[in-house]
Structure 1
């Protein structure tokens, strides 16, 4: 009986392994272009430790609301399950009173007491790494709080640029030397300032084992500083990531900062194009074809962040259902060259206007439909190398209906997005995709077989599908044979058990 049981288990394993896989196995040597980032404003995410609730007022959008490191730690599995492979935290450094957002830095070597201790933050990083998730934190280099001890220290007067407000955001001299919102502007050309910032940045890497920095208002700091910063910082840890966050209303030459060693730079113009295309139906995808940056696979793709109104606000203004628009929008950034950066609350279509309305507390007690959809997208992005490393070719595009191809090695993915108000039918020919095969839908389960070397795709409105090209499936004789063997062995197993009971 024991031998029969072992044989049965072996055959079952054989049968399971004979089922065709629809996706590549999880990749080794993951690169940053393979990541999917969830962006968190710590104070507004989740309050798990009420002992940190100092001066907390959840009714005041300009006060601390209670989110902390423990709250992020407690939700790591929630994020991991949705397919996110990295988290980005807004500034966690000690801030002056009211600096819930983290941008009024008072001490570069301390965590904000409202968020938790350095020990707790280290544990957060460790727990993320246990889940194979990377951690990026904001590192503010442009300014400090008006109450920072340096401001009152006469010996450090030359640590700051002379006071002047910025009146023209397109004037490079003004934005690199002016005081943003009255915040003391650091003089990065001063060797002492430069050394201090570099030492602090290195300290956080070596002390906490973080994986990257996001750099707020990166274009307000001279490129020469970034060249040295990136060169020195990347010596501290292999594959350390630098994400430049440009000021929202600035016109920036992105390639200039990439040449200075910044790996990835936010492009608000492209983000605006994304918002315009997906906030309503029947919008042409053509504005999205103008992304001419170096290494587009490293470009952060986002709809909103802590400095913008919520994308949901655009959708509501257009009188559309947020869930439908978010689904097609996320499908696009998850399946085109670039790194998706999803702002907390997008998975529940959180709404919000200008700052601070866009920074409302996260709500974990909501319906799960959009969360389930993001989870499936994340699964596919993590399993299909073609979605993160493949070439990109638009096969069809018209008024909100798009079909494009991603190819990596022997894997071909076809993505169809119907962001129109009607069902759409698109035919792909032998010049666009190899004939005689079939397209297996992994998002919705659609199956399209080649007929006369053509593929007829029928996509309902507000829907999308991610196909992989595969050989035509037919009667799987080996699988059927294996199943017969299993049934026979199982019958023998049951007969032997009954005979033993009779004895």
Structure 2
């Protein structure tokens, strides 16, 4: 008793007569800061801390309105909504009062950069270079293993493990990428993936507001974007709204069970997302496809919950404003709730009118993917507001067309002609992302042992870079990296040779590449540098002819300038009469881009087997 009395006396002497109450520890404030002057006046702030739901919330600012405080089933969460329409840049306090205990949370509204709303998105004048950060280059080995993170190993011999690539590695090779001739970099997810295994690919996000520390911190990512911009390149960021990682605090300690589909219990998706537009689909099929989980370690968000929707939408806008990215590629777009995703696309476009978003629409036909593009007649009177969709069916056709012998009625290049002739189904064919391969598919180039020469590679690249749409090149295509999906996804995402200090080969350096690799690199580089700033290819109209004698011809035209392509889809030399094609041949001579010389266009044109003419008028 005497000891207790002495302790009280000591407290009074130290702190005065008022009792002391420790403040609550706030584990998360999301987002950590925001900006004044945004077009949307509403700001959601998610607070996560031990038993904070009973707190009364107030704010110290005079020009910010406390709009709503929402409690969740879980007492560890509070969701605060503010109206900042009249707010100037400032730091104010959010005050959580629980009885005599008071917690003060300083919060900053930053000043927006001038013209930040006018960020220029990627478009058909661009070529995207897709990089998986963990597999491209390791520029800082000190962050390979971060203490406290769950996957604490790096093993380059294990295709499923982390290999150590990071922001610094990409930054060190920006000159290489720019010299190749691409104009934009698309990065697979860079946000935190603190999962026990398989975290290298990035598609199981555990914190939507933090870069994965094994790549670098948020500031280092922003610096990478700035450095890319300084070299004339845009940056596209991969995002995932359909699901998160099972180690995400929002799942491990759910605000409420309705934050996730099936009340947070694992139910596998059918992957049959065509049900979203199937007029005959059962209610069961629709629900299991959209609400089902991508995998057991990737719980599926319930985007019908308005708090979930706002949290995800704000996270994307935060990265655009913070890092100045030029575009977003949205993973598994048709797996998420239609109305929420449409609301997100519209919200981003209203804040950033020149921005672009491409949705992953991995579906089997042009009709199915056309449904997801903004202003599609198939969705009327609804609208996805998604500007760009991924043209997976064209990828499938290209992977077959340049193998097959073209006849005058089917196969080979006829596939491309017939597919493009159906572009009427698209609201905007120029806003389709076109590609030969990506991180989820077998690489287009198989192996040197399977190809006698680069004819297949060269024809495919000419077509990809001169047809309608926004081309994407997968990292390593320029040096003939090869992989087959039958060997697993990890094999599709192998390391770029030379990205690690002790690599046997450094293919970033032409001196270390094989003659065939240098031929491929130089060919692609020539095409990319020629395409850069070429308004005819970026904006020109497309006109094509049905293949005759195995030869496919088409034109891109803008004003009085045009580009004409002839592709021989057979292994035989072919001679064709040019009389058929006079409407796309404005002169009797043209510049042959591939050979850097003038070519005369008389009565006939002869193309060697698998030959190419790329003519500029």
TM-score of the aligned structures, taking structure 1 as reference length:
0.82
Deviation at 1:79?
1.4
Considering Cα pairs closer than 8 Å and 6+ residues apart, tell me whether 1 or 2 has the greater RCO: 1
Deviation at 1:104?
1.0
Q: How does 1:119-134 map to 2 (within 5 A)?
A: 119-134=219-234
Q: Could you say if the C-alpha distance between residues 142 and 39 of structure 1 is closer, same or farther in structure 2, counting changes exceeding 3 Å?
A: same
Q: Determine which of 459, 482, 501 is the counterpart of 1:351.
A: 482
RMSD: 2.3
Counterpart CA distance in 1 for 2:336 and 2:559 is 40
Q: Determine which of 215, 218, 225 is the counterpart of 2:340.
A: 225
| Counterpart in the other structure of 1:252 | 368
Q: What is the aligned residue count?
A: 436
The alignment partner of 1:204 has SS state of helix
The alignment partner of 2:171 has SS state of helix
Q: What 5-or-longer segments of structure 1 have no aligned partner?
A: 1-28, 470-503
Q: Could you say if the C-alpha distance between residues 154 and 392 of structure 1 is closer, same or farther in structure 2, counting changes exceeding 3 Å?
A: closer
Deviation at 1:352?
1.2
More displaced stretch, 389-398 vs 208-217: 389-398
* Residue 616 of structure 2 is aligned to residue 468 of structure 1: yes
What CA deviation, in whole Å up to 9, does each residue of 1:276-301 have, x standing for no partner? 10245545322223242222111111
Deviation at 1:119?
1.3
Deviation at 1:192?
0.5
Counterpart CA distance in 1 for 2:201 and 2:527 is 30
The alignment partner of 1:181 has SS state of coil
What CA deviation, in whole Å up to 9, does each residue of 1:236-255 have, x standing for no partner? 33411101112467993433
The alignment partner of 1:84 has SS state of coil
Q: Could you say if the C-alpha distance between residues 425 and 201 of structure 1 is closer, same or farther in structure 2, counting changes exceeding 3 Å?
A: same
Q: Could you say if the C-alpha distance between residues 343 and 164 of structure 1 is closer, same or farther in structure 2, counting changes exceeding 3 Å?
A: same
| Counterpart in the other structure of 2:400 | 276
Counterpart CA distance in 2 for 1:320 and 1:275 is 14
Counterpart CA distance in 2 for 1:385 and 1:141 is 34
Q: Could you say if the C-alpha distance between residues 223 and 322 of structure 1 is closer, same or farther in structure 2, counting changes exceeding 3 Å?
A: farther
| Counterpart in the other structure of 1:58 | 156
What CA deviation, in whole Å up to 9, does each residue of 1:292-320 have, x standing for no partner? 2222111111111111121223x779x43
| Counterpart in the other structure of 2:442 | 309
Q: How does 1:322-401 map to 2 (within 5 A)?
A: 323-354=454-485, 355-363=489-497, 364-365=506-507, 366=513, 367-395=517-545, 397-398=547-548, 400-401=550-551
* Residue 559 of structure 2 is aligned to residue 406 of structure 1: no
Q: How does 1:17-56 map to 2 (within 5 A)?
A: 32-54=123-145, 55-56=153-154
More helix by percentage:
1
Q: Determine which of 150, 169, 178 is the counterpart of 2:292.
A: 178
Counterpart CA distance in 1 for 2:165 and 2:548 is 44
Q: How does 1:234-245 map to 2 (within 5 A)?
A: 234-245=349-360
Is the radius of gyration larger for structure 1 or structure 2? 2
Q: How does 1:458-497 map to 2 (within 5 A)?
A: 458-469=606-617
8 Å contact from structure 1 (residues 284, 397) kept in 2: no
Counterpart CA distance in 2 for 1:342 and 1:131 is 18
What CA deviation, in whole Å up to 9, does each residue of 1:19-77 have, x standing for no partner? xxxxxxxxxx9971111111111111111111121221110100011111111111211
| Counterpart in the other structure of 1:196 | 311
| Counterpart in the other structure of 1:285 | 413
What CA deviation, in whole Å up to 9, does each residue of 1:450-495 have, x standing for no partner? 44xx4x32222343221122xxxxxxxxxxxxxxxxxxxxxxxxxx
What CA deviation, in whole Å up to 9, does each residue of 1:301-340 have, x standing for no partner? 1111111121223x779x4347331111010010011111
Deviation at 1:439?
1.6
TM-score of the aligned structures, taking structure 2 as reference length:
0.67
Q: Determine which of 248, 251, 254 is the counterpart of 1:148.
A: 248
8 Å contact from structure 2 (residues 405, 570) kept in 1: yes
Counterpart CA distance in 2 for 1:342 and 1:53 is 27
Q: Could you say if the C-alpha distance between residues 316 and 434 of structure 1 is closer, same or farther in structure 2, counting changes exceeding 3 Å?
A: closer
